[in-house]
């Protein structure tokens, strides 16, 4: 058994089942996740008899590295092998000049307060079954869910690969479940991995620094609110059911009225008092000023902010990125309507690590990868205004 598969509760049950005290689980968590140990022999505060048993029966192993690429802006992407047929992608995005230079990365942008932030974008599935038409991962099709070890193993590996800042702080300060796959479609393993991210004996991140992005699986959103309510981002991308049915097909099952109601319910439990709506800007498809006004009406009762995302092209898609001036005009409508609207800076696109570009290597069980993704235009929008 790979001990990366066990969160704190499961590891405690395992230790007590062997007749060990519960504190042994906390010791193991600290060695594995805080110190990145993979050798039981170095765990010198654990009895040797127990260490020998662990070494004989178990292992600590992250996914194998297939490739490791660094973009010109400092973004780093790993292709990680999870089995003989599939590999997934994990992306590290550094922000903030001073600490980035300390890590050997030179960039020129900072977060809103000028402080260093290092964000790890983590995958939850090999491929994705939701078929969002603008996403390279969806085009690859779907093979399987990742295990807890394969999810937390991405953070475990990245911490080891990146090292620490000179003061000893880890370079990864935030985690976003925004990589390959729909996290809420792999609920149990994702929650188990996120619980390790939050555990003080493991990675010790706050719930505000762990964000889960969903396309809108309403029952699982409610379940997450009751189980482990981290910061929530919703891949919205359209202000009407007719358009979202095409761009984000899960909308046919959970339409916008149900999704907005679930967002309102989630806020009662969330570590932030708003939901982030992610909105990819597609030229002539969802980027008119009418669309922006429709968004204001749709979300009038939902405390939220908007993250506008320039479309990042990939070979199988015919969509185009909205012109910068249209994105600015779109954002201005939202801001004038009383909303916070930011435009995401494209990072890592020269190594295909930008939003929507993650593809990995997926043996598709759904046969969806053979489908051609068409251009979708919303005839009712009248184009940019």
| CB-CB neighbours of 382 under 10 Å | 11
Instruction: Specify whether 131 is catalytic.
Output: no
Q: Are strands 117-121 and 142-145 parallel, antiparallel or unpaired?
A: unpaired
Report the alpha-carbon distance of residue 105 to residue 98 in Å, rounded.
9
Which residue, 316, 196, 185, 291, is CA-closest to 237?
A: 291
**Dihedral of the alpha carbons of 165, 94, 135, 183, in degrees to the nearest 10:** 40
Report the alpha-carbon distance of residue 381 to residue 384 in Å, rounded.
8
Residue pair 65/78 in contact by the 8 Å Cβ criterion: yes
Q: Which member of 20, 89, 95, 150 is catalytic? A: 89
In eight-state DSSP terms, residue 32 is: I
HSE-CB for 265 with a 13 A CA cutoff = 15
Q: Which member of 135, 263, 304, 355 is catalytic? A: 355
Report the alpha-carbon distance of residue 382 to residue 284 in Å, rounded.
9
Report the alpha-carbon distance of residue 347 to residue 110 in Å, rounded.
13
Instruction: Specify whether 128 is catalytic.
Output: no
Angle at 219 between CA 362 and CA 374, to 5 degrees: 45
Q: Are strands 125-127 and 142-145 parallel, antiparallel or unpaired?
A: antiparallel
Report the alpha-carbon distance of residue 125 to residue 137 in Å, rounded.
10
- Chain centroid to Cα 378, Å, comes to 28
Angle at 315 between CA 312 and CA 320, to 5 degrees: 45
Report the alpha-carbon distance of residue 91 to residue 353 in Å, rounded.
7
218-227 vs 256-267: helix crossing angle, rounded to 10: 10
Backbone angles phi, psi at 348, to 5 degrees: 75, 15
Q: Which helix (H) or strand (E) holds 304?
A: strand 304-310
Active site residues: 89, 355
């Amino acid at each position: 058994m790979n001990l990366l598969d066990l969160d704190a509760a499961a590891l405690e049950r395992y230790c007590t089942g062997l007749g060990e005290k519960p504190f042994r689980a906390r010791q193991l968590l600290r060695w594995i996740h805080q110190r990145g140990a993979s050798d039981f022999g170095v765990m010198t505060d654990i009895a040797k008899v127990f260490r020998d048993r662990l070494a004989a029966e178990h292992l600590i192993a992250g996914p194998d590295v297939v490739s490791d690429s660094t973009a010109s802006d400092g973004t780093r992407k790993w292709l990680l092998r999870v089995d003989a047929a599939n590999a997934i992608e994990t992306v590290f995005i550094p922000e903030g000049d001073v600490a980035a230079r300390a890590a050997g990365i030179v960039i020129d942008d900072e977060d809103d307060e000028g402080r260093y932030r290092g964000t790890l974008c983590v995958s939850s599935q090999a491929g994705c079954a939701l078929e969002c038409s603008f996403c390279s991962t969806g085009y690859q099709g779907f093979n399987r869910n990742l295990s807890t070890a394969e999810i937390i193993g991405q953070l475990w590996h990245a911490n080891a690969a990146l090292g620490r800042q000179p003061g000893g702080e880890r370079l990864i300060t935030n985690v976003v479940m925004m990589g390959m796959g729909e996290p809420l479609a792999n609920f149990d393993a994702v929650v188990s991995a996120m619980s390790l991210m939050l555990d003080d004996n493991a990675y010790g991140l706050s719930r505000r620094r762990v964000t889960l992005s969903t396309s809108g699986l309403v029952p699982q959103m409610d379940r997450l609110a009751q189980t482990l309510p981290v910061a929530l981002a919703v891949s919205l991308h359209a202000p009407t059911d007719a358009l979202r049915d095409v761009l984000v097909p899960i909308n046919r099952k959970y339409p916008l009225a149900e999704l907005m109601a679930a967002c309102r319910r989630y806020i009662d439990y969330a570590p932030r008092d708003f939901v982030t709506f992610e909105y990819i800007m597609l030229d002539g498809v969802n980027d008119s000023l009418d669309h922006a006004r429709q968004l204001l009406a749709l979300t009038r009762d939902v405390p939220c902010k908007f993250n506008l995302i320039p479309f990042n092209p990939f070979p199988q898609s015919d969509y185009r990125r909205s012109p910068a001036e249209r994105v600015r005009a779109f954002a201005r409508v939202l801001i004038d309507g009383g909303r916070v609207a930011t435009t995401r800076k494209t990072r890592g696109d020269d190594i295909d690590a930008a939003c929507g570009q993650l593809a990995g290597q997926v043996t598709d069980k759904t046969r969806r990868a053979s489908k051609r993704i068409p251009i979708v235009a919303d005839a009712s929008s009248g184009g940019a205004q």
